[in-house]
Amino acid sequence: RGVWAAPQLLRQLLSDGEVSAAEFLHWSTARREVPFGGLAATEGQRIKLRWNESTVRSADESKWSLPQARTCTHTVTLANFTSRALLREKLLTAIAHVEEGFWRDD
């Protein structure tokens, strides 16, 4: 399976300001502001990262799914992107559609 690089890449994108922390928070939790004491201080409110192996159907990472957010559970599901630039592109695309969302037909 290899090393899951996506969490480290995500941290870098957020800390370097390439992805707005406020926009990421809104996309992943539906909150516009961090609650008093931060998400970590609020029981059960931390943002959880999940690895979605089912999105990896092609060796070409550019064909992998966009990151997904479940705002009720504060869960972000990512494919194991190894390219910072590609993760940034996919994440910014997902965040840009925060108001309309993407609907799945499972």
Q: Cite the active site residues.
A: 72
Residue type, 81: F
Contact predicate 12/81, CB 8 Å: no
DSSP lists the bridge partners of residue 49 as 76
Q: For residue 41, what are its two tokens?
A: 């201080």
List the Cα angle 52/7/38 in 5-degree steps: 110
